[in-house]
Amino acid sequence: MGKYIRIVGGQYRRTPISVVDVPGLRPTPDRVRETLFNWLNHLWQGDFGNKQVLDLFAGSGALGFEAASRGVMHVQMVESDPSAVAALRKLRDKLAAKSVRIHAGDAKHTLSRLENTRFDLICLDPPFGASWFPGLLNDIYPLLSKQGLVYAETERALTPPEGYIALRQGRAGAVHYQLFQRDEMP
């Protein structure tokens, strides 16, 4: 039997998520996801129904399925590992999660294909040690809705670049997690 985590809230609460054995895959811990979605519940006044979410490095899908479980309108997951993509599609189909779309492909390449889409929340949990930040925050800026949010998991705390305001942050072991909001560029 493989490793599992569980969806912590919403309509799919307690549903197990299979964690495939992929190098660098670190599923967001239950406690951290619960904290993130408490923050979102407060900031969005509990209204998830009209929100669009991008989970750019989906991995296990924990963040995207958690958003779908809370009733967001649309979740776009992006994952490059074929075994992780297969696991994501299997769970989406099992849950009949019609709001979830899964794209198999490279995160950077996919960003260029999403240029006309605006997201209320973009989740960034890339593999550690690859120097994704702060460049990635600049790359996704045009994809955020006005006042859009970015959730980032990193190996060290980030200073938000121009165009972002830091809203919340926390730490769980070696993982720093932060929530930023899009601010208008001067």
Domains identified in the chain and CATH numbers: 3-182 (3.40.50.150)
How confident is the model at residue 135, as a pLDDT?
82
Digit-by-digit pLDDT tens for the chain (186 residues) are: 468 899 999 999 999 998 888 877 778 888 899 999 999 999 999 999 999 999 999 999 999 999 999 999 999 999 999 999 999 999 999 999 999 999 999 998 898 888 888 999 999 988 777 777 778 888 999 999 999 999 999 888 888 888 999 999 999 888 899 999 999 765
For residues 12 and 105, the answer to whether their CB atoms sit within 8 Å is: no
- pTM across the whole model: 0.93
User: Strand, coil or helix: what is 94?
Assistant: helix
**Long-range Cβ contact pairs of 110-118 (< 8 A, separation 24 or more):** 110/56, 110/78, 111/56, 111/139, 111/140, 111/143, 114/54, 114/76, 114/143, 115/142, 115/143, 117/52, 117/54, 117/76, 117/143, 118/52, 118/143, 118/144, 118/145, 118/148
Q: Give first-to-last CA distance, the chain, whole Å.
A: 53
Burial of 62 (0-12, 13-18, 19+ CB in 10 A): buried
119-124 and 175-182 strand pairing: unpaired
